[in-house]
Amino acid sequence: EPEVTQTPSHQVTQMGQEVILRCVPISNHLYFYWYRQILGQKVEFLVSFYNNEISEKSEIFDDQFSVERPDGSNFTLKIRSTKLEDSAMYFCASTPSGGRSDTQYFGPGTRLTVL
């Protein structure tokens, strides 16, 4: 069964450094999402992406964040200058058509630790 993959599984970085989190969505899916979960808190929406553009973003997704689909398979989340409060589990998700009843397929997550 096709699945969403994410790399790395765990990333440790120093405050102020740039990190890139990578995701490979399911191949025929068109809508892509990033969510994050700070330890002990809710899973929160960050951004959605369709047709090589950001479709929607949350107030968390400020100028320090960017997303890109550099080729036909990868979908990346970049944090330019990490802060301590960026430490979280980051989940990528994809869905075939972006409909309200669509199932979103999630990757296993990347745990980001900012020191």
Partner 1 sequence: AQSVTQLGSHVSVSEGALVLLRCNYSSSVPPYLFWYVQYPNQGLQLLLKYTTGATLVKGINGFEAEFKKSETSFHLTKPSAHMSDAAEYFCAVSDTSGTYKYIFGTGTRLKVLA
Q: Which residues bind partner 1 (CB under 8 A)?
A: 3-4, 6, 9, 31, 33, 35, 41-45, 48, 50, 55-56, 91, 93, 98-109
State the nearest-atom distance from the C-beta of 49 to partner 1, in Å.
9
State the nearest-atom distance from the C-beta of 54 to partner 1, in Å.
10
Q: Phi/psi of residue 86, each to 5°?
A: -80, -10
Give the nearer residue to partner 1 in terms of CB position, either 29 or 82: 29
106-109: Cβ within 8 A, 24+ apart: 106/4, 106/35, 107/3, 107/4, 107/5, 107/6, 107/23, 108/5, 108/6, 108/9, 109/6, 109/9, 109/37
- β pairing state of 10-13 and 110-114: parallel
Give the nearer residue to partner 1 in terms of CB position, either 35 or 75: 35
Q: What is the CA radius of gyration of the chain?
A: 13
State the nearest-atom distance from the C-beta of 100 to partner 1, in Å.
4
State the nearest-atom distance from the C-beta of 75 to partner 1, in Å.
14
Give the nearer residue to partner 1 in terms of CB position, either 14 or 101: 101
